[in-house]
Amino acid sequence: MSAYDSLSTFPDVPPELELIAQNPSITPVVFSNGTQKMVTNSVYHSPDLSPLSKVFKDVITVEEVEKFKPHPDVYFHLANKVGKSGEQMGEM
């Protein structure tokens, strides 16, 4: 899994993430099917991703749910983690 720690971003990602970071109505999070350890290591240690890690308010994975996207339960888990109700999921 060490290759996961050196993932590259597309060239348009850094400037767009900076724009997202400036918008107070958006709560940017990483939401992944990976494990918490794997995804967190990637976000905070990858040469391309780590400089952008400050943009993300949280790293949320499906590990606690023990199901994978696109199962609906993982999206309810995401909603709960970001402080939204299931009824508000359309706002995410």
pLDDT for 24-83, tens place per residue? Answer: 999 999 999 999 999 999 999 989 889 999 999 999 999 999 999 999 999 999 999 999
What's the whole-model pTM score? 0.87
- Spatial separation of the C-alpha atoms in residues 78 and 91, rounded to whole Å: 12
Residues in the chain: 92
- Spatial separation of the C-alpha atoms in residues 85 and 75, rounded to whole Å: 10
